[in-house]
Amino acid sequence: MPIAEVRDLVKTYQMGPVQVQALRGVHVAIEEGDYVAIMGPSGSGKSTFLNIVGCLDTPTAGAYFLGGEDVARLSDSELSAIRCRRLGFIFQSYNLIQQLSVVENIEVPLYYQGWSARESRQRSTAIAELVGLRERLHHRPAELSGGQQQRVAIARAMANDPLVILADEPTGNLDSATGREILALLDDLNRQGKTIIMVTHDNAVAERASRIVRFRDGQIVDDTRWERQ
């Protein structure tokens, strides 16, 4: 069974008197352990697709199965619970809480799952060390470089042991050298068995994945898989 699958996915937005079809009957299955790069020009539907897979938006029509559960028609509160338990997010702009320290930012998804303070701190500290933040646990985001902030975001995405990690242009705000470090972390996560879906406009970034799905005009026009080195 695919870990995530959309069938005949349609998303239509009402823009005043005009209807805009962002997705037109998309079908794709993501297997456990996949590392998928989503590509396409602006307006192709790739961001809409990521938002629906991330349970941040709902389809107009079609089905979406995550871990075997049809989540396409769940309520907002049910989708929020799914995001908390089953998904990890990495954003281009990091989306860290500025008032919280590194370890406290990583703890956020565990707080919403009801972990005890002691267990949450132990787990978050261990993950911070895994991504190279051992000496930065009690620093706040403003005291960190862009690369360090993205490491915090990756650690936060890992905290709840999600079924799927969703990355939206994860190196978009970083210089080339720091971007390569972040991609190396994602490579390691995938080698450990994590399923990653990443939106990128950069061919060099996409080639780190083992599969590229290309969107155009709300449809998938190419889906290529290969063995990573």
Q: How many alpha carbons fall within 13 Å on the CB side of residue 28?
A: 28
Give residue 193's pLDDT. Answer: 93
Give residue 228's pLDDT. Answer: 66
Task: Supply φ then ψ for residue 68, to 5 degrees.
Answer: 85, -5
Domain ranges in the chain are 33-56+75-213
Q: How many angstroms separate the CA atoms of 45 and 68, rounded?
A: 24
Q: How many helices (H) and strands (E) does the chain have?
A: 7, 10
Q: 109: closest CA among 156, 163, 168? A: 156
State the 10-residue block means of pLDDT for the chain, 229 residues long. 95 90 96 96 94 94 94 90 92 92 95 91 94 94 95 94 94 91 94 95 93 96 84
Q: What is the DSSP letter of 101?
A: -
CB 68 within 8 A of CB 229: no
Q: What is the DSSP letter of 85?
A: H
Q: Edge to edge, what strands does the sheet with 219-225 contain?
A: 87-91, 164-168, 195-199, 35-39, 211-216, 219-225
CA torsion angle for 150, 151, 154, 160 (degrees, to 10)? Answer: -130
Q: Thinking of the domain 33-56+75-213, which architecture would CATH place it in?
A: 3-Layer(aba) Sandwich (3.40)
Give residue 229's pLDDT. Answer: 58
First-last CA distance in the chain: 26
Query: Which amino acid, residue 157?
Result: A
pTM, full prediction: 0.93
Give residue 170's pLDDT. Answer: 92
CB 87 within 8 A of CB 162: yes
Give residue 120's pLDDT. Answer: 95
Task: Determine the length of the chain.
Answer: 229
Structure tokens at 97: 């809480």
Sole residue written with tokens 């989708």: 79
